[in-house]
Amino acid sequence: MTGQKSVSLTVGVAIMALFSCPMAETTTPEVLVKGGNIPVINVVDYGAVPNDSKDDTAAVTSAINACAGGDTRTLYFPGGKFNLSSITFPVSINVVMANGVLLEIQNGATVTFNGPFTAGLYRVFSGPGTVQFGGPGAHSPVSEVYPQWWYAPGDPDASPAINKAIDSSHDTGWVPGINVRLSGTFKCKTTIHVNRDRVNLIGNGMYATQLIFDPAVPLPLFEFKKADNSMIVQCAIRDMALYGAGARGDSNRVQKTGIKIVDADIIEVRNIAMLNWGGNHSIGLQIQGREMGFIENIQIAADLPISIEKDPNIDWISIDHFTFRNNYLITLDKNGAAVKIASGVYLTNVVFDGTHAWVGGKYGLYWDDTETKGVSSSLSIKNVRMEGGTAPGGEIIHISHNYTLHNLVLENIYGCAGGVGGIYLRRCTSATLQNIFYTSTDKPTPTALDIDESSSNIVLINAFWNAGLVKTGKLIKTFGTNPNPSKSDNRLIEVYDRPNNPQGEGLILYGTKTWCYSGELADGAALSLPVGSGARVATITVSASDGAAINESGCFMLGAKGTIVKKVSGTDSTATNSTAGRLCLVPGNQVGLINYLGAKVDVVITLFWR
């Protein structure tokens, strides 16, 4: 039986000695720690024979039993290969692996470490069996697991080793989970599957840890997804760089996805760089549900940097309570988008904040929805600069919803150059566009703002269109102020609404409600005003003209809770009852203006009431 010299060492020096110093045959060594000497049990002293291809489980069990009856003991594996079937190392035992040891785990076997485990960045596990840190009712004190424990530097694909590190976390019940430390550079050809809750993938820094991905067929590098399609919870990936193999200009490279998230609750993606991620519509970050996501400090250069898609496991939530902060997105596809939201996505409470750069492509954020049957709500996009567009005809923001997007905020957005237009909105309700600056010298002239009557309650605050066309369809400007009334490029405040949307009270000044209207009124047509039996008192002015012979105007007061209309002044062809040849303002539950002038006229109405 092989032994070691008996030595006494301070704890820091002891571990170094165990890893690096060969020792001759003798009795079990001891390590000096706080309060006295604690034995170090060498498995070789209990019958384990390295490199003989025989099962060493019984000998290792004897070594474990020798550790019983005291404080935490150290069980030491020297160099060589040891063959193990299923075995559990108790929580009271600290297992120390020398550089050069290899535990060959048999097929179908599980080796469980419930106590401390110490090894350097070298391979210590092999074989088809499973390694488990912690188990039901036992949380392992191992703070981090390293793929190098399963990975030989010459292996062409590091993904299987990283998967084994992830799978070493027990996936039963509400266990605390595991931290997998990715340190160094890894070449990967297949997918890394995060298939259990509370897995944290941690690198040494955005560029200090590097993964180079070169798949033979379309695959994601990282996939957060449960095998049984249930929701995956409380996972994270941070502090590393992902590189696509091959030349950046090679559009025929295999399609790949950097990080794919499927039906997740509380997911963090922080301090990640994805570079050279091109070829056949490759995607940087692919999100397929569900809620509480935090995407922060990421840089992506991909054909499609961010793709937000439907959750395959649930219809009515696609993305909910997600925050994107401090993202630098480079679109490699000249006709692509920095952020693309797929048709059919149900979106609620999504925020782009911090600072964002969108470079290249035809679109910044693109959402063309033709499927949803319900409302999406609360999308906030702030602090975006888009430049270097590579295709004309697109927009910084392009949102066309199939049903309604309610509560849209666009704030502090700057766009220039590349032929890309400004903002395009369809079927958006209660949208605020604040501190928008758009400029372009491209030909043909892009469209700076394109909204129409499919949307309502659109508010512009300090929106400056330095170039480009402004299209508002049939929307009515219900309120507007400009620094120079003869020039309307800079909108200090503008409010747009649908032409037939009941307006109610407009601007309120010191308790006085106001309402204004301008438009055409056909001969014999009536227009209802937003006052009537509920108004205590009102002043109404009306003017009408056909641009030729008909030119009528009148000032009226409304009293007695809407039951009396009196003419204060005006031309002869204005009246307070229905009379042929007159422009009539008549009382009722709702005051009405009726055109009996014999021709279509343009009318302007102002109303003040209490």
Q: Are 500 and 475 in contact, with CB atoms under 8 Å apart? A: no
Q: Which two tokens stand for residue 169?
A: 């976390």
Within a 10 A sphere around the Cβ of 34, how many other Cβ atoms? 7
Share of the chain above pLDDT 70, in %: 87
pLDDT at 37: 55
What is the tens place of the pLDDT at every residue in 327-344? 999 999 999 999 999 999
Q: What is the pLDDT at residue 376?
A: 97
Q: What is the pLDDT of residues 387-424, one digit of tens each?
A: 888 788 899 999 999 999 999 999 999 987 666 889 99
Alpha carbon distance 143, 301 (integer Å): 33
Q: What is the 3-state secondary structure (H, E, C) of 294-311?
A: EEEEEEEEECEEEEECCC
Among 87-96, 112-121, 461-470, 572-581, the least confident range: 461-470
Would you call 304 exposed, middle or buried from its count of C-beta atoms within 10 A (0-12, 13-18, 19+)?
A: buried
Look at 85 and 468; give whichever has higher pLDDT. 85
Looking at 501, 536, 560, the residue that finishes a domain is 501
From 6-15, 110-119, 197-206, 575-584, the region with the lowest mean pLDDT? 6-15
Short-list 372, 364, 427, CA closest to 395: 364
Q: Give the pLDDT confidence score for residue 36 in this predicted structure.
A: 44
Q: What does the pLDDT average to over 458-473?
A: 88
Rounded Cα gap, residues 480 and 198, in angstroms: 52
Q: Note whether 242 and 299 are same-domain residues.
A: yes
The pLDDT value given to residue 20: 40
Residue pair 385/358 in contact by the 8 Å Cβ criterion: yes
Report, as an integer, the average pLDDT of 572-577.
93
Is residue 379 located within the same domain as residue 527? Answer: no
Based on the domain organization, do 385 and 265 belong to the same domain? no
For residues 573-584, average pLDDT = 93
Do 405 and 328 lie in a common domain? no
- Whether pLDDT at 3 is above 90: no
Indicate whether 198 and 317 sit together in one domain: yes
Residue 360 domain-assigned? yes
405 lies in the same domain as 487: yes
Give pTM, 2 decimals: 0.84
Reported confidence tier of residue 16, pLDDT bands at 50, 70, 90: very low
Looking at the structure, tell me whether residues 92 and 223 fall in a common domain.
Answer: no
Q: Which position has the higher pLDDT, 40 or 481?
A: 40
Half-sphere exposure of residue 79: CA atoms within 13 angstroms, side-chain side = 8
Distance of CA 91 to the CA centre of its chain: 40
pLDDT of residue 175: 58
Summarize pLDDT for 247-258 with one digit per residue, the tens: 877 878 899 999
Residue at 150 is within a domain: no
Before 238, cis peptide (omega within 30)? no
Same-domain check for residues 187 and 233 = yes
Whether residue 153 is contained in a domain is answered as no
Query: For residues 553 and 580, what is the distance between their CA atoms, to the nearest angstrom?
Result: 16
Query: Is the pLDDT score of 9 beyond 50?
Result: no
Domain that holds residue 214: 172-333
Amino acid of residue 119: A
Report pLDDT for 67.
86
Are 440 and 470 in a shared domain?
Answer: yes
Report the SS3 class of residue 269: strand
In a domain, 506, yes or no: no
Number of structural domains, the chain? 4
Is it the case that residue 507 has pLDDT exceeding 90?
no
CB 453 within 8 A of CB 425: no
Q: Sorting pLDDT into bands at 50, 70 and 90, what band is 436?
A: very high
532: domain CATH number is: 2.60.40
Token pair 């995060």 is found at 194
Could you tell me which of 301, 296, 298, 294 has the C-alpha nearest to residue 279? 301
pLDDT digits (tens, 9 = 90+) for 62-81: 999 998 766 668 999 999 99
CB 607 within 8 A of CB 514: yes
Span of 283-287, 430-434, 492-496 with lowest mean pLDDT:
492-496
Q: Which two tokens stand for residue 57?
A: 């489980």
Whether residues 185 and 313 fall in one domain: yes
* Structural domain contains residue 138: yes
Q: Exposure pattern of 233-268 as b/e (b: 16+ CB <10 Å)?
A: bbbbbbbbbbbbbeeeeeeebbebbbbbbbbbbbbb
Which helix or strand (DSSP H or E) is residue 59 part of?
helix 57-66
Extract the tokens encoding 102.
């290899």
> Which of the two residues, 585 and 476, has the higher pLDDT score?
585
Q: Which of 82-86, 399-403, 432-436, 474-478 has the lowest mean pLDDT?
A: 474-478
Decide if 514 contacts 608 (C-beta within 8 A): yes
Longest dimension (CA), the chain: 124
> What is the helix (H) or strand (E) element at residue 329, kind and residue range?
strand 319-331
Residue pLDDT, tens place only, 130-161: 999 986 666 678 889 999 999 877 889 999 99
Main-chain dihedrals φ then ψ at residue 224, nearest 5 degrees: -95, 105
Residue 223 lies in a domain: yes
Q: Is residue 466 part of a domain?
A: yes
578 found inside a domain = yes
- What number of CA atoms fall less than 13 Å from residue 265's CA on the CB side? 8
- Specify whether 135 is located in the same domain as 215: no
Q: Are the C-beta atoms of 477 and 495 separated by less than 8 Å?
A: yes
User: 387-426 as b/e, with b when 16 or more CB fall inside 10 Å?
Assistant: eebbbeebbbbbbbbbebbbbbbbbbbbbbebbbbbbbbb
The answer on 85 and 214 residing in a single domain is no
Give me the phi and psi of 143, to 5 degrees please: -80, -30
Q: What is the residue type of 283?
A: I
Say yes or no to pLDDT of 189 above 70: yes
Name every residue whose Cβ is closer than 8 Å to that of residue 492 and which is 6 or more positions away in sequence: 461, 462, 481, 482, 483
Final residue of a structural domain among 452, 467, 501 = 501
